[in-house]
Structure 1
Amino acid sequence: MRLILLMVLAALLSGCGYNQIQQKDEAVKAGWSEVLNQYKRRADLIPNLVNTVKGYSSHEQQVLTQVTEARARVGQVNVNADDPASLASFQQAQGELSSALQRLMVVVENYPNLKADQAFLDLQTQLEGTENRITVARGRYIQVVQDYNTYIRSFPQNLVAMVFGYKPKPNFTVEDERAIQQAPTVDFGQAPAAPQQQPPPQPAN
């Protein structure tokens, strides 16, 4: 009799979406792991990037320090993706690091020898690929969180979610979601356009 009751309960839970909630919850966890993995990949590239730039432009200490400090702040964030405040702090730290990297890119344009260095070119390629992977990973995470949240808010899954303590998960902010539609430009090889020369004035007749 007990076995029959368990089988009936399992069938009811399955029909109410319990198994699907588990699957979607695991998809969210996997998506978040990939986001962290790609951000860590970027963080691991930064020390070599800073050291390479420093070898050509040691007097650009302010920009180099900003990048290093921004990377350190990212490492200090103990992120919990289920906590909206923690996720917001993580977003802010990663945004500050992205801004610092963009300022470094501007500095690099002033050093043609650096842009021709093979080690730097290799780092450029890796950083470009990482930025693209970050964009893809974050986009997928946004989708799986939206899918999970929509599912557990729908009837009758919302009743099962309430009983077992499954709650909607925070996601990247709307502003941040728009921002990730295009990865940051990482192009150290493109020299700034030279100003157009104006034709000399014609002598008056």
Structure 2
Amino acid sequence: MALKISKITLALVIILVLIFMNIWGTYNSLVKSEENINAKWSQVENQLQRRADLIPNLVETVKGYASHEKEIFEQVTKAREKLIGAGSVAEKAEADAELSGALSRLLAIVENYPNLKADANFRQLADELAGTENRIAVARMDYNNAVQIYNTKIRTFPTNIFARLFGFEMKEYFKAEEGAKEVPKVKF
């Protein structure tokens, strides 16, 4: 009888250890996924900051040739400040869309100034801006892919039970605003 009780006890201990290891593994997997999202979001913010840092130089270069285009310079500056001050993913997406629109208008003005298009400093800044826009697109895609994997994981059984138990919540996708889905065009 004592042997039977010890076998039952051993079986229960093994089952409890397996359950604990499953919970532990699931929790660690969720933490890793959430940290991956944080890292990807950081890259989005880095690229948005890079673009925001390029803009004052670009604006100053254009100002030298088109000083009477004051309204567009103010729009770009306000949109840049809004992007820098944005906190949530949705606020960043909205501010990014606004800045992209203002940049498009600024770059459209350049068409009226052939000397500006030929300026080496402007061409370098425009090339850097185009490269940064590509980096932003890649960083957004990587972030949204990480969010998709994480959100799927926390909604899938049985992980959803542990996700709710430990307070893991759905993450927000970076969504482009309507009309802002195109990268500002840089023409020479």
TM-score by length of 2: 0.85
Q: Secondary structure at the match of 2:75?
A: helix
The 1-side partners of 2:96 and 2:107 are apart by 17
Which residue of 2 is the match for residue 62 of structure 1?
71
8 Å CA contact retained: 1:152, 1:161? yes
The 2-side partners of 1:178 and 1:158 are apart by 36
Post-superposition Cα deviations, 1:10-64, rounded to whole Å, max 9, x if no partner, equal 413145x222111111110111000000000000000000000000110111111
Which residue of 2 is the match for residue 200 of structure 1?
none
8 Å CA contact retained: 2:83, 2:96? yes
Aligned residues: 174
Please point out which of 48, 52, 55 is paired with 1:43: 52
1:1-205 equivalence runs, <5 A: 8=17, 10-14=20-24, 17-77=26-86, 79=87, 86-173=88-175, 176=177, 180=181, 183-189=182-188
What letter corresponds to residue 117 of structure 1 in structure 2? D
The 1-side partners of 2:69 and 2:179 are apart by 32
CA gap of 1:179–1:14, structure 2 versus 1, over 3 A, is farther
Q: Which 5+ residue runs of structure 2 have no aligned equivalent?
A: 1-12
8 Å CA contact retained: 2:101, 2:180? no
What letter corresponds to residue 94 of structure 1 in structure 2? D
CA gap of 1:143–1:179, structure 2 versus 1, over 3 A, is farther
Task: Kindly indicate which of the two structures has a greater share of residues assigned to helix.
Answer: 2
Q: Secondary structure at the match of 2:173?
A: coil
The 2-side partners of 1:179 and 1:50 are apart by 20
The 1-side partners of 2:80 and 2:179 are apart by 23
The 1-side partners of 2:135 and 2:173 are apart by 18
Superposed CA RMSD in Å reads 2.2
What letter corresponds to residue 139 of structure 2 in structure 1? A
The 2-side partners of 1:177 and 1:21 are apart by 32
CA gap of 1:125–1:90, structure 2 versus 1, over 3 A, is same
What letter corresponds to residue 110 of structure 2 in structure 1? V
Post-superposition Cα deviations, 1:124-177, rounded to whole Å, max 9, x if no partner, equal 11000000000000011111101100001111101111111001111123x659
* Range moving further from structure 2, 86-95 or 54-63: 86-95
Q: Secondary structure at the match of 1:59?
A: coil
